[in-house]
Amino acid sequence: MSGLSFIILGRVAMSEQEIYIRDQLVLQPGIGSVRFVRQGRALLERATAGVVYTSAKGQKKRLALAGHAVSYGLAQDSVSLSVANDEVQLTWQLLLGEELRLNLEVKNIGAQTVRVEEFYVLDVDAQKGGSLRFTSSPQNWRCYQNGWQSWTPTFARHIADGLWVDPNTDDYRVKHQPHAPLPSRKTISSEWFTVIVPAGEEKATASSAARGQVGAAADPSILLGFITTADQLAELRLALSDSTRFQRLVAITYADGVPLAPGEKLLSETLLLALGDDPLGLLDLYATHVGETMHARTAAEIPTGWCTWYYFFGEDTADDVLNNLTWIEKRQLPLDVILIDDGYEMAIGDWLDVHSAKYPQGMKHMAEQIAAAGHKPGIWTAPFAASSASKLYAEHPDWVLRNKQGEPLVAWQHWGVDVYGLDLSLPDVQDWLRDLFRVLSDDWGFRFFKVDFLYAAALPGVRHDRRMTRAQAVRRGLEIIRAAIGDHFLLGCGAPLGPSIGMVDAMRIGPDVHVDWEPFWQDLSAPSAANAILNSIARSFMHGKLWVNDPDCLVLRPRGDDSNLVLNEMRTLTTIVGLSGGSVLSSDNLPSLRRGRPRYLQRILPPYGRSMIPLDLFHNERPRLLVLPVETLWGSWVIVALLNWDDHSRVTQLDLAQLGLPQGAYHVYNYWRQRYLGVVQDHIVIDPHQPHETVLLLLKPVSDQPQLLSSTFHILQGAVEVKEVYLAPHRLVVELEKQGNQFGRLVFAVPGERTVSKVLVNGRPQRPRQIAAGIWQAGFFLQDRATVELTLS
């Protein structure tokens, strides 16, 4: 990287002094601000920084660079601006590179302790001359809104109008809004990061998204994201005075009143600022940087398994678990984890006090039986909380977080009973947590841990250790759990995302799935299939960079059997879980499933590992176009999922140009309908596209040679189960490998005058069937592995 270059434009008055730094910054030390530029054009005007602190006398004060003549320093790859009053000194450091990194340091230079409340690591305020200088009107902007914890609504929000609704309830505020109320409905808050897209009219293509380029716009998109997340909660706020006027853009981290003694310093989290024409690429860039900085656990295996929750809802027994385990074994399903969810314990907090009527021989015996069957025993806890009806709270009422009036803080109600957050800064609570997970892991023998409702540790209460922030409380709890269980698998849920990076192996990325498509009330965080799907799509880029994505469980039972999901809705849920590349957990009572339903589970096993790309993420608040390019040693193709979120049928047209595919002819196969749609060159029309239906298509280039077109044994159609394909004179041979016994089809394209005269599966003849001109298929049962040989004449 080249050294720093700068120019001082003459000897001018201090207020007019401007110092140009490369082609990225213009320092304005006379007024304590910076102009961010790109290709000679200003994008962020009069950006500055500041800190909010409480003095020794209890006065809330703010010190900002703006409006002051500040001192500054220039090093080879960094710039700093400083200002001070009688109590604190503020230093804003900007690190130069391909992207900019910003942080803020406050030092107590006074004689008495102060408490640091908030860092404004970036502040662009229209009232102080600041501006976000897009050429398009704010009403056309799109803003990625990331939620605070697993269940918090997340999508690329339209500025002018759209899906967003604030339920405005106490329960919602506790679970999803950890900061001060937003000043107006025209303010958008995003936790830890955001991408602002100026127009939102351009669409990505599959090939350009894979390359990190998506179209070009008159204005670049802007990424603002904190890439260190362990010590302070953080948010980005974009405020408009109305839908057409910019008001303010701030990046804030919360120090939560940490005391700072004379001479001590405190550093904010580090903010990444990047510009680009590809908003999807910027999301990937952010995930890559924060994952590297926070040492994300990305090498973990992708879990598959069965979970008790979404059928039994806490009323499961040992017999229920064993019956499902036996069913899994009999059918040789590759489900590794057997997860016993909520309901085995007598109360939240009393995890070692097992419900004897449900599990009469205890959980250790249950784990031993699961392990003896060759599976990984898993257990659910909500370890950062205690029920008001628990023995834990009765014996240790001083362990829970309380407000300034001394009242315990309610994290949620569990079946109508108040549950309080634990004070993770207390040494006794830390010891209890450590001992608990050592018992669960070392004594009871569990190897998979789902830890839920983790936001309870981050409630804004009075902590024993006043130096511990809310983010550090969550992080400290996870560090204790990780040390106790070692490298056993840890799945976070209901978890503030930032402090969890580097601690958990997998993360729930959306609300609970449910047996209803929409929730009972208007709330994007409420349990429902549609809400779970939306978050899973919007956070798909996190998979493999921050953790393994957990899209929540698969629910397959038909409508009327304790479910309201119709066939199209169940298929859509299956598609999204399968295309997520993340965990696959079934949560039906498997022995009671109707015949034919288990095949949907088989068709997304094993997980592919790579996640879908929502090409229209910044165009539609509910994305309708998902792609997953597949590359193998024997071929390449594109999987396309077209979603209809509407409650009515529609006509959907897909232009191949949207996918960025090379010009040419492509075979198209409709997976769920198992129908060959022909050869296309320009567009595909789906009519009718039924309500809540996902049309899952394979597009593969037409060849003058015989080729395997599709395998229906997996929704990726050959990406995981087809190990090799080779063409010999008058023969096409396919090698498959997939655990279990399942029926499916291979579809072949045989061009020209050739026909399929014979099909052998493991040496046994199968009858081929021609389904279109030059298109043949053969159906058979695959038991673990097979060699399929076509004889061509």
> Mind telling me the catalytic residues?
452, 512
Q: Give yes or no for a contact between 386 and 392, defined as CB atoms under 8 angstroms apart.
A: yes
Return the exposure string of 399-432: e unless at least 16 CB atoms fall within 10 Å of the residue's CB, then b.
bbbbeeeeebbbbbebeeebbbbbbbbbeebbeb
Locate all alpha helices (DSSP H) within 213-372, ordered by sequence. 279-293, 309-312, 318-330, 362-372
| CA–CA gap between residue 525 and residue 31 (Å, rounded) | 43
In single-letter form, the type of residue at position 404 comes to: K
Torsion of CA 342, 346, 351, 355, to 10 degrees: -80
**Inter-axis angle of helices 470-485 and 427-438, nearest 10:** 30
Q: ω into residue 606 within 30 of 0, thus cis? A: yes
CB 347 within 8 A of CB 389: yes
Alpha helices in 556-674 (DSSP H): 567-579, 598-602
SS3 156: strand
Structural tokens at position 119 = 């860092």
List the structure tokens of 783: 């038991």
Sign of CA dihedral 213, 215, 218, 222: negative
Alpha carbon distance 226, 501 (integer Å): 12
The 3-state secondary structure of 483-506 reads: HHHCCCEEEECCCEHHHHCCCCCE
Of the CA atoms within 13 Å of residue 578, those in its CB half-sphere come to 28
Query: Distance (Å, rounded) from C-alpha 425 to C-alpha 781?
Result: 57
| C-alpha distance from residue 414 to each of 141, 314, 580 (Å) | 40, 11, 30
Residues 6+ apart with CB under 8 A from 532: 510, 511, 512, 513, 514, 551, 552, 573
Exposed/middle/buried for residue 334 (C-beta within 10 Å: 0-12, 13-18, 19+): middle
Longest Cα–Cα distance of the chain, Å, equals 93
- Using CA atoms, how far apart are residues 380 and 367, in angstroms rounded to an integer? 13
8-state DSSP, 432? H
Query: Are 515 and 490 contacting, i.e. CB atoms less than 8 angstroms apart?
Result: no
Output the CA angle 354-360-366, nearest 5 degrees: 80
